[in-house]
Amino acid sequence: MDNTLFSPDTKAQQTHDNTLMSDALHILQHTFGYTEFRGQQAAIIEALVKGDDALVLMPTGGGKSLCYQIPALLRHGCGVVISPLIALMQDQVDALRQMGVRASFLNSTLDSTATEYIEQSLCAGKLDLLYIAPERLNQAHTLALLQGATLALFAIDEAHCVSQWGHDFRSDYLKLNLLHERFPHVPRIALTATADEDTRNEIAQRLDLEGAHRFISDFDRPNIRYRISLKHNAKAQLLRFLQDEHPRDAGIIYCLSRKKTEKIAHWLQTSGFDALPYHAGLTNDIRAAHQARFLRDENVVIVATIAFGMGIDKPDVRFVVHLDMPKSVESYYQETGRAGRDGAPADAWMIYGLEDVIKLKQMMEGSQGSDAHKRAEQYRLNAMLGLCEITSCRRQALLHYFGDTLAQPCGNCDTCLEPVSTWDGTEASRMALSACHRTGQRFGVGHLIDVLRGREGDKVLQNDHHLLAVYGLGKDLDNNQWRSVFRQLVARGYLSVDTPRFGALRLEEKCRSVLRGEKTIALRRDIKPLTDGKRQTTAPLPEGLDITLWESLRDRRRRFAEDQGVPPYVIFHDSTLQAMCAAMPQSMTEFATLSGVGARKLDKYGMGFLQVIREHLANS
Ligand code: ADP
Ligand code: ZN
């Protein structure tokens, strides 16, 4: 940089900023126990510390919280965090207190004595961070309270809740632009993991953050292994996945309907899993109880509709399953992003079939909203379907969808690990399209396959379809193979599903060239599940990890957590326990170097874990 550009004043400012950033690093290391900032954390913190506003887009697990927690500690006054989920505030505050940060929350679960105490602490400058739900913030009493206090910043978490098109819309978020009017000198930071451009702009506009610095992070989550396969026998496939790969892990299973979440949860219970349903139709009490079990215990499986997940920052979710296809790549990415926030290996595992597409389309047809909105939904669904059917790296496709690029195939998705083989499906595709055409584009997949395979069913005979030229032409392929052909033709936009007609298939303009024989089509060869003897299993633990020590450390952690009344991950994350296994520290000094061990936790828990390690070494 050209030094002549600096006046003495800016130089002084520069020195001041440098000091602040070295203070920031000190807090990161001393309080949080991490060695260095990740990605754009340092830049975001710097902007806020200087008093600027920021709009932050970071994938789930990217490390958003530190971006406002550290500036709140560095600036004068208290940082106010607006967070939509009351149920999670307790855990967020507990985790901060474990590190010696003076954090509290204000919400409707507190009685008047507790509320008063916290309000007084705020006014007396005894709080570093205060979590508040948006509806509470908008009350006159709260605003007056804040006006009387010294504030370091406002952090608006889950900022996509201002978006009326998103499924997390909260009307109270719309009023948050008053912060700018009422507190013009307090810097604001809005954070979200929702990636698409429209939502991003909507947030900036609605929250009056058009002038804010924008920080858009790399959206890759390299520790998540993406796998998408065909649904054959959903239960058997799921059971096998869970038993082989995650017999004792916490995870989320997403289903489309409420009823299905209950059925699957119940069935998993009978198979020995600690599974609980979650959907908007359950009473508040039950939902809260199930969510609390999931957060607090280490191996609860939540079977949920999309109603579950926002704001869940449990770091050790080892898998996210989709038993039904989500309606967009955005939803898929956000939901799968809830796995592996601690950076340790995690699975995103999905099974899907053509029925999923038909069901989703029916739901979309029945939804309210303008035609333009429906078209946008349709476009999103097709992109999701495209992701399911691709034969190249899934991660490259995902990142490409969000405007990022990944130069090389990732090596950690199903298509990279087990490359898909293709076959020349030109002839089969022509037959399929022509069966659809000759039968008047009025029938669904089942009937078209009957015609192609020459089955003399009632419907075939009633409609005289046994007289068609295509009748019986496709005997060489079996039912499943034909389903695969039709599914891929829909996915690639040669056919579309006519939902008002119960899933009848219609030809699209694009198929002309295929029917005329001008185009060849390579189709994906579907892998038959449950027949292969050798399967790849992902052990969620690093190779070479000493399981006995690992279990003893977990056990110690569980006891600390019980004593403190907090979830185990609040004591230490899995990744910190894994670091203990790898490094086997023998002194407090060595223990202090582990990632995730700050000064306060070293004091409280260091000896306890060192003891476990010592006993382990003595016994082995
Ligand atoms: P987000 O809110 O973006 O989903 P979190 O703030 O919950 O993510 O952070 C995800 C995980 O990463 C947490 O376990 C957090 O402690 C950890 N983390 C954040 N920043 C760092 C860092 N600089 N070094 C190491 N771990 C970090
Ligand atoms: Zn890949």
pLDDT tens by residue, 45-58: 999 999 999 999 98
Q: 40 and 217 in contact (C-beta within 8 Å)?
A: yes
* Dist. CA 237 → ligand 2 center (Å): 22
| Ligand 1, pocket-test mutation among 58, 66, 194, 573, most atoms within 8 A of CB | 66
Give the 3-state secondary structure of residue 316. coil
Distance CA 228, CA 414 (A): 7
Closest ligand 1 atom to residue 62 Cα is 3
Residue 168 pLDDT grade (very low, low, confident, very high; cuts 50, 70, 90): confident
Q: Topology of 422-524 in CATH? A: Arc Repressor Mutant, subunit A (1.10.10)
Top-confidence residue, 10 or 395: 395
Report residues whose beta carbon is within 6 angstroms of any ligand 1 atom. Answer: 34, 37-38, 41, 58, 60-66, 313, 315, 341-342, 573, 595
* Dist. CA 257 → ligand 1 center (Å): 32
Top-confidence residue, 427 or 2: 427
* β-strand partners of 350: 228, 322
* Dist. CA 391 → ligand 2 center (Å): 10
Closest ligand 1 atom to residue 28 Cα is 23
Instruction: Pick the most confident of 9-18, 369-378, 423-432.
Output: 423-432
Q: Give the closest residue (by CA) to ligand 1 atom 20.
A: 63
For residue 121, the surrounding DSSP H or E stretch is: helix 112-123
Closest ligand 1 atom to residue 157 Cα is 2
Strands 422-424 and 522-524: antiparallel
What is the pLDDT at residue 195?
A: 62
Closest ligand 1 atom to residue 58 Cα is 3
* Dist. CA 280 → ligand 2 center (Å): 35
Take residue 258 and report the two structure tokens written for it.
Answer: 């409420």
* Dist. CA 214 → ligand 2 center (Å): 29
Top-confidence residue, 431 or 532: 431
pTM over 0.85: no
* Dist. CA 345 → ligand 2 center (Å): 15
| End-to-end C-alpha distance for the chain, whole angstroms | 58
What is the pLDDT at residue 533?
A: 38
Q: 78 and 128 in contact (C-beta within 8 Å)?
A: yes
* Dist. CA 523 → ligand 2 center (Å): 19
* Dist. CA 395 → ligand 2 center (Å): 5
Residue 499 pLDDT grade (very low, low, confident, very high; cuts 50, 70, 90): low
- Identical fold between 224-417 and 547-619: no
| Ligand 1, pocket-test mutation among 92, 341, 593, 595, most atoms within 8 A of CB | 341
Q: 71 and 37 in contact (C-beta within 8 Å)?
A: no
Closest ligand 1 atom to residue 193 Cα is 3
Is the domain spanning 4-216 CATH 3.40.50.10860? The answer is no
| Angle CA 50–51–54, to nearest 5 | 100
pLDDT at position 68 over 90:
yes
Q: 316 and 342 in contact (C-beta within 8 Å)?
A: yes
pLDDT at position 419 over 50:
yes
Take residue 608 and report the two structure tokens written for it.
Answer: 């306890």
Residue 490 pLDDT grade (very low, low, confident, very high; cuts 50, 70, 90): confident
Place of tokens 């916290």: 118
The three-state DSSP-derived secondary structure of 134-188 is HHHHCCHHHHHHHHCCCEEEEEECCHHHHCCCCCCCCHHHHHHHHHHHHCCCCCE
What is the pLDDT at residue 530?
A: 39
| Ligand 1, pocket-test mutation among 26, 34, 338, 573, most atoms within 8 A of CB | 34
pLDDT at position 403 over 80:
no
* Dist. CA 81 → ligand 1 center (Å): 17
Question: Average pLDDT for residues 189-195, to the nearest whole number?
Answer: 85
- Write down the mean pLDDT value for the chain: 89
For residue 397, the surrounding DSSP H or E stretch is: helix 394-401
What is the pLDDT at residue 364?
A: 76
Q: How crowded is the C-beta side of 600, counted as CA atoms within 13 Å?
A: 15
Closest ligand 1 atom to residue 59 Cα is 3
**What residues contact residue 455 under an 8 Å CB cut-off, 6+ apart?**
none
* Dist. CA 390 → ligand 2 center (Å): 11
Q: How far does CA 98 lie from the centroid of its chain?
A: 26
Q: What ranges do the domains of the chain cover? A: 4-216, 224-417, 422-524, 547-619
pLDDT at position 5 over 60:
no
Closest ligand 1 atom to residue 38 Cα is 23
Q: Give the closest residue (by CA) to ligand 1 atom 5.
A: 63
Place of tokens 């059971």: 239
Place of tokens 């790898």: 582
Phi, psi of 324, deg, nearest 5: -130, 155
Strands 504-507 and 522-524: unpaired
Residue 500 pLDDT grade (very low, low, confident, very high; cuts 50, 70, 90): low
Amino acid occupying residue 387:
L
What is the pLDDT at residue 6?
A: 42
Question: Average pLDDT for residues 147-170, to the nearest whole number?
Answer: 87
What is the pLDDT at residue 3?
A: 40
**What residues contact residue 397 under an 8 Å CB cut-off, 6+ apart?**
386, 387, 390
Q: Give the closest residue (by CA) to ligand 1 atom 2.
A: 64
Q: How are the residues of the chain apportioned to helix, strand and coil, as percentages rounded to the nearest 5?
A: 50, 15, 35
Question: Average pLDDT for residues 523-528, to the nearest whole number?
Answer: 78
Closest ligand 1 atom to residue 575 Cα is 14
Residue 10 pLDDT grade (very low, low, confident, very high; cuts 50, 70, 90): low
**Low-confidence winner among 42-46, 512-516, 586-590 (lowest mean pLDDT):** 512-516
Q: Give the closest residue (by CA) to ligand 1 atom 12.
A: 63
* pLDDT tens, residue by residue, 88-137: 888 889 999 999 999 999 998 899 999 999 999 999 999 999 999 998 99
* β-strand partners of 251: 301, 319
**What residues contact residue 412 under an 8 Å CB cut-off, 6+ apart?**
222, 224, 225, 226, 395
**Low-confidence winner among 6-20, 254-268, 489-503, 543-557 (lowest mean pLDDT):** 6-20
pLDDT at position 529 over 60:
no
Is the domain spanning 224-417 CATH 3.40.50.300? The answer is yes
Percent of the chain with pLDDT over 90: 59
Q: 397 and 332 in contact (C-beta within 8 Å)?
A: no
Q: Topology of 547-619 in CATH? A: DNA polymerase; domain 1 (1.10.150)
CA of 25, nearest ligand number: 1
Q: Look at phi and psi of residue 302 and say left if phi exceeds 0, alpha if psi is from -120 to 50, else beta.
A: beta
Question: Average pLDDT for residues 433-459, to the nearest whole number?
Answer: 93
Place of tokens 């947030």: 203
What is the pLDDT at residue 377?
A: 81
Percent of the chain with pLDDT over 70: 94
